[in-house]
Chains A and B, each alone.
Chain A
Amino acid sequence: MANRIDIIDKTISKLPFVKVLNTLEQDEFSIKGNVEIDFEKLNKPLSFSFEISEIYPFRHYDSESIKFKNVDLIKYGHVMGDGSICIHTSHNINLKKKLTIDFHSLKNWILKYYISNEDDDNYEHIICNETSFKGCHYSYMFTDVEHTFSKDDFGEVSLFQLENGIYKKEGITNYIIQKFDLKNKTQIECNWSEIYNRSLRTHTGVFYFCENPPAVHGRFAFQNWENLDGYLSEDFINHLQRFEKQNLKKFRGKAFPLFLGYKTIGNDIHWQVIILEIGDFPIKRTPKREGRRKTGDFKYSIKSGKIIWGITNNSSYKYFFGRGAFSKSLTEKKILIIGVGALGSMVAKTLTRCGCKNINVADYDIKKPENICRSEYLFNLGVNDKSEEMVRILTAISPFVEAKVANNDYFQTIIKMLYDKKGIKEQFIRDLNKNDLVIDCTTDDDLMYILDSLDLDCDSINLSITNHSKELVCGFNNNIYSFVKNQFDNVLDNDTKDLYNPTGCWDPTFKASYNDISLLVQMALRHINIVYSDGIRPNNFVIKQDDKFPSNLIIEEY
């Protein structure tokens, strides 16, 4: 069998645009060499060193196990700090083929970023080596604000601490940025949900908007404070100095974040955080002089020292839900979920994870340990009103959902007593129409009848499942009561004998597992989302098992 190094040599030598400059060398872990790349569109050849690691052609974590380097190319796109090129390539397990692919990828990089000097539409974070401070990492999440920062704006930020955790085997303290307090006293709230905005701030930091990234070539974050000289205004440096002085006694040695803001793509801004130590700010003072005489005042400026970069993440709605969300026509709706048992809790949670911004929940019931196995409730929250716990969970998932508890008694007693009383009925209709969508997951026939008879202008959905989770029945806007009742009473074979009786016979419930129910709920919500995003007429539907293959589910619209 031919030797690996020979195969590599032969394969790349055959490529018309590659010239192997010297004999390949092999050490314990890799094979190294130098190549010159030349093709028609290049004015002069480019040379790269390359290194192929032992695991090649497989990938190493999530990076390629072949590296091409040229430190002179650092100012071009997709080049790392050490001069290595980020090539976009594809999987292949055959050494020869993979080499061919990867060298072509290098050529593509040259075409795209060296010759055409393309800018990507995607923003790439500046590359900074995030390190811990005194054995602890500091992480901050920020979101959009309704404000346009100008160059040299600075001020304080209010921070709210989230949970502590572990990050790369060290401790991590997590925060969100709640508010920016501009020096001229304008307070800028971040677009989090109310609960995150209104919680009392726990920590403070400072921010400085420098407009351009604090980085070499716009990509490699400064490593020394000296690089920031000229970036930060004198005003700001004075402010920092005063701040340190004021807090020195109480907080000496503590970490203190400085957020540097800059524009990325469009109107987006990014905040990159530097961790300062109170008592060790990189500020030097030189006496001010008039002629040769000291005035007694000082001029403050940046002094040399290593920058400790902390962790920041853009957690704005766009990024938070960037990987997938429901259609805007659903997420922007004000949604009321009545009944947050097994079905309702899954609906609430899914809507939240899919970007819905306004969810009220109502349920008179208490969450107990036996509810947890097939709902979205959590053991560690103990016994709670279902609605209260659900709001906590939804809020914990998304910082963009306004989740509130609706009047729990409203749907159990009040509306049932008074729904057909003249004058009061109209009030109910007005109240409910304040929502854009009412989802009834109570499986309460009385309530279903009442909601249907109120003939609401807002959309309404009724969800229920038959025993053993065989079918899911969804009433969607029209003729809900008659449709759902008829499905349960006459059409579907709902087994009402084999129910689960937890305690005595007064509280029987259907039998089904989390897996059974959530499968149906997810499918129903997917369909509902499609109806909204395509703007098609909502029809009642049933999700049922295929007769031949019960694991196949089908949606039958009515």
Chain B
Amino acid sequence: MSLKKQEYLSNVLSTHRMSHVEELVNKFKAKRDEVKTTLQDKYGSDIYSPFDSGSFKKHTAINIKFDLDIVVPFKRNSFDTLEKMFDDLYEYLEAEFGDVAEVRKQKVSIGLLFKTDDDGDDVNLDVVPGREFNQDQYSEDRKLNLHLRNNTIFTSDSTYIQTNIQEQIEHINGKSDERMVIRLLKIWKHYNNEDFKSFLIELITIKAFKKDDISGNLWEKLEGVMNYIKENVIKEDFKLKDPGNSNNNVMDTLDNAERTNLSNRMETLIDRINNNAQNIKSYFPLNDDFEDEESSSEGYGIKIGSGIASTPPSTERFG
């Protein structure tokens, strides 16, 4: 087949670049900064400086779905319990932003869904509150306890989760090959309504690069990672350690049926694409909103989505 999978995938990535939605991103950032400021005003010395997290911070965002997370590290003596911390933050955000946004409690965060603006854009932020274990301990190791609501994430019925979000961000730092594969898998997940958590995709991709020989062009790397997922998620002893806390095994978020399903999905994907390269296009579609904006100033350009023969116009006249 003549479709060059690696070229095609690189087009997929570029049509999903965040730079295409710069204005929207700026709106997100503006909102984020506004929220951060109000939080600092409200909680003052009860908190350490809030910091950014989420896919945008990790450079794994895709322009069809991305979120900006704000982590708010509370000091030990700010609240008696994690639940009180969570509820207080929720009530404050509700009071402050309730008229312009839907404020809702999520698993470990409070979601702010700002009302659709005149451009038709929806801005949403997640605010993640966490509390240090002991007085001043956060400044040393950045570890936090997060309040866990309606725990379905981990098999234990814990109401909190101990982690280190800074460490999670660090974990992916400088891993540009991994990031490309992560973004591709997120694109697949988004278009195909797959149920898997982005965090899981992130960790498993990084692990694949570490444990397996993932090399070659973009397609070969993606295929390598998919193969790794296919073969490993069904192994009973396969673990994915949360870089923020090695006691958390993120594989525990999947039951056996989900593990098998993930493995099967990977197998189907690899088979179909290797059977006919064109199938790659439906698993990893281009973001057609930005197909035409691709004009870089260097290199020979190929019109996006082509992967088909080039034929000249029927009649041309030269002087």
Given contacts A422-B120, A537-B261, contact A478 B282 (CB under 8 A): no
- Residues of chain B within 8 A of A539, CB atoms compared: 268
- Please report the C-alpha to C-alpha distance between residue A539 and residue B279 in the assembled complex, in whole angstroms: 14
Residue in A422, A477, A491, A557 with the greatest tally of chain B CB atoms within 10 Å: A491
30 sample A-B contacts, Cβ–Cβ < 8 Å, listed by A number: A422-B120, A477-B193, A478-B191, A478-B193, A479-B191, A479-B192, A479-B193, A479-B282, A479-B283, A482-B191, A482-B281, A482-B282, A482-B285, A483-B282, A485-B282, A486-B279, A486-B281, A486-B282, A487-B282, A490-B3, A490-B281, A490-B307, A491-B278, A491-B279, A539-B268, A556-B272, A558-B268, A558-B272, A558-B282, A558-B283
Given A422-B120, A537-B261, A557-B268, the answer on whether A478 and B192 have CB atoms closer than 8 Å is yes
Determine the chain B residues whose CB is within 8 A of the CB of A557 once the complex forms: 268
CB-contacts of A471-510 with B (<8 A): 477-479, 482-483, 485-487, 490-491
Which residues in A have some Cβ–Cβ distance to B below 8 Å?
A: 422, 477-479, 482-483, 485-487, 490-491, 537, 539-540, 556-558
Chain B nearest CB from A64 CB (Å) reads 50
B-side contacts of A491, CB under 8 Å = 276, 278-279
What are the residues of chain A within 8 A of B191 when measuring CB–CB?
478-479, 482
A307 to B148 alpha-carbon distance, docked (Å)? 76
User: Chain B: which residue is nearest A538 at the CB level?
Assistant: B193
How many residues of chain B have a CB within 8 Å of chain A? 17
CB atoms of A486 and B193 under 8 A apart: no
A539 (CB) vs chain B CBs: closest residue: B268
Q: Which residue on B lies nearest to A475, using beta carbons?
A: B282
Give the Cβ gap from A256 to chain B, nearest Cβ, in Å: 61
Q: Which of A477, A537, A558 is within 8 Å of B279, CB to CB?
A: A558
Report B172-216 CB contacts with A as 1/0, cut-off 8 Å: 000000000000000000011110000000000000000000000
- A145 to B190: give the CA distance in the assembly, Å: 48
Residues of chain B from 140 to 199 with CB closer than 8 A to chain A in the complex: 191-194
Contacts of B268 in A (CB 8 A): 539, 557-558
A487 CA to B278 CA in the complex, in Å?
8
- Per-residue CB contact flags for chain B residues 236-280 toward chain A (1 = under 8 Å, else 0) read 000000000000000000000000010000001000100010110
Chain B neighbourhood of A558, CB < 8 A? 268, 272, 279, 282-283
Min Cβ gap A419→B in Å is: 15
**Residues of B with Cβ closer than 8 Å to A?**
3, 120, 191-194, 261, 268, 272, 276, 278-279, 281-283, 285, 307
Q: A486-B278, A558-B283 are in contact. List 18 more A-B contacts (CB 8 A).
A: A477-B193, A478-B193, A479-B191, A479-B193, A479-B282, A479-B285, A482-B191, A482-B281, A486-B279, A486-B281, A486-B282, A490-B278, A490-B281, A490-B307, A539-B268, A557-B268, A558-B268, A558-B282
With the chains together, A540 CA to B285 CA distance in Å?
A: 15
Q: Which residues on B sit within 8 Å (CB–CB) of A477?
A: 193
Task: Look across to chain B and name the residue whose beta carbon is closest to the beta carbon of A537.
Answer: B261
Which residue of chain A has its CB nearest to the CB of B261?
A537
Within the assembled complex, what's the spacing in Å between the Cα atoms of A557 and B279? 12
A487 contacts across to B, CB distance below 8 A:
282
- How close is B173's CB to chain A, nearest CB, in angstroms? 32
**Chain B residue contacts of A490, Cβ below 8 A:** 3, 278, 281, 307
Find chain A residues with CB under 8 A from B192 CB: 478-479
Bound-state Cα–Cα, A537 to B268, Å: 13
Interface core residue of A477, A490, A539 (most chain B CB under 10 Å)? A490
The CA-CA distance from A395 to B305 in the complex, in Å, is 47
CA distance A104 to B208 in the complex (A): 67
Chain A residues within 8 Å of B285, by CB:
479, 482
**A539 to B271 Cα, complex, angstroms:** 15
CB nearest to A485 among chain B residues = B282
State the Cβ distance, A458 to closest chain B Cβ, in Å: 14
Quote the shortest CB–CB distance from A486 to chain B (angstroms).
4
Bound complex: CA of A485 vs CA of B268, how far in Å? 19
- With CB as the reference atom, state the residue of chain B lying closest to A557: B268
CA distance A483 to B280 in the complex (A): 10
> B194 contacts which chain A residues (CB < 8 A)?
478
Cβ contacts under 8 Å, A478 to chain B: 191-194
Residues of the B chain whose Cβ atoms lie less than 8 Å from the Cβ of A479: 191-193, 282-283, 285
Query: Once the chains are docked, how many angstroms separate the CA of A487 from the CA of B272?
Result: 12
Q: With a CB–CB cut-off of 8 A, which chain A residues contact B279?
A: 486, 491, 558
How far, in whole Å, are A491 and B268 apart by their CA atoms in the complex?
16
| Chain A residue with the shortest CB-CB distance to B120 | A422
